[in-house]
Chains A and B, each alone.
Chain A
Amino acid sequence: MKKLENISEDRKKYLRKMKLRKNEILCTQIFIVIAFIALWEILARKGIIDSFITSQPSRIVKTFMNLSSNNLLEHVRITCTETLIGFLLGTFSGVIIAIILWWSPFISKVSEPFLVILNSLPKTALGPVIIIWVGAGMPAIIVMALAISLIVTILEILNGFLHTDKEKIKMAKTFNANKTQVLTKIVIPANIPTFFNTLKVNIGLSLVGVISGEFLVSKGGLGYLIVYGGQVFQLDLVMTSVIILAIVAALMYQSIVLLEKVFVK
């Protein structure tokens, strides 16, 4: 980094322009959100849209304020716990399976068609089966999250492993590295970026699995609230839950980004 006094006039101008541009984008984004909310509120108040069906921002805020009466926090906690467990299980077992498949090209070749089919199969179709097998409760929801994220994890990580620079592996072998050393010294560290990309995809997928699981099991969590709210026509509750869900998803994603920043410099 150059020191400030060494910056030329043109450079300063350029930097100022870049900063201005950034601010413009941010302001426009904030404006869109505010305008959307304002329009929604006004249209609902004027009776142009039916707030019974669309809900309205002020009522969402009210529902949000009455967190305790709806037990909202408890539902958020349930969803987050399920997502985290599903996410950790999916990532952990996915990485382990990917390592096994990398280790044994035979097992990898044998399992390839099965993985491809499982990957393209919509896992929510397995929902009823899962509920019958593990019972209608938290375990079923976690299995659902696992089913959705596991195959993608395996395929992504394995793909990264297999595309590790062959020359680097050869280099390690010139020092007589055994397979474990190739794995721990070359393949795994070379794939840390792949790993974090997979985490980012996975946290979203786990949440999809949890919400669709909650739709089916209907005992607790934001997914349950959404289904329940829809059935009793409490659109305020549905909208509030969706917004909280969006915030939860964004927070989880950002924490992975943060984790990546700490690990990858």
Chain B
Amino acid sequence: MLTKILLITLFLLFPLFLGYYTTFIALISIILGILTISWHFMEKEIGWVSFGHSVPFGIAAYLLALNPTLLFLTPFIFLIFLFFSFFGRRLFPFATFIASIALWNVSHYFVLNGKGGEEGFGVPFSMSLGNLYTLSMALLLFCYVFFEIISKSNLGLKIKAVRDDEIAAKSVGIDPIRFKIVGFFFSTTFASVAGVLHAVSFSHVSPSVFSPFYALFPFVVSKISFDKRWACIVGSFVIVSLSHSLSAFLPETHYILYSVVLMMIAVVKKNAENL
């Protein structure tokens, strides 16, 4: 694990010595990397595929923009996912996706009727790009190490047990709800951290934080990264860079990639129970 961390650190440090624009693109990639790793934990370890990780991401961003003291609510965002989990594993991806789209639509009215302008709500404080990059990089590394350790711990093993069979878990004395809550909590908390960093980096929060770009980004990145945690960071850089570099010729390129990945995954894994 140490070698991987060292390599990731070197990979992340590199853009700091490039121009402002490149560093900014790398910063966005890092933030979305945190979002992807939090999503990856939810899919691989907890066994719930979310198509709405933009929900904790966007809510945390909005809370920061409205009033930073409201951020104390972020640890409770997992309750939204816990509610959707009652729909069952099969409907969960679509329930979360619909929720994110609904929030995307609702937030337009919210922004216009609230204090926000056309660009959304302003964020009350700012940081220099260098500081924000260093902070985001540290948080990404922490997120990566945290989920690696959790996955290999007894807690992680119990979370995986609940993922595999809730009845079997009960029969050996493991409370499925408790470990599901713990798993959701970790995942949504890191997604919220990514949301806060995103809001600070752009200095404003617009309804687009709930858009399908953020909702589906972790799924697509994780799949093109062959479900490897470390590769998710590289995958995040690839998609963000591709999207920005091609935006001049073909706007919203990432969506074309999204649609291809979604259709391919559905066809390739046609016999899989849960994706």
- Do A and B pair up? The answer is no
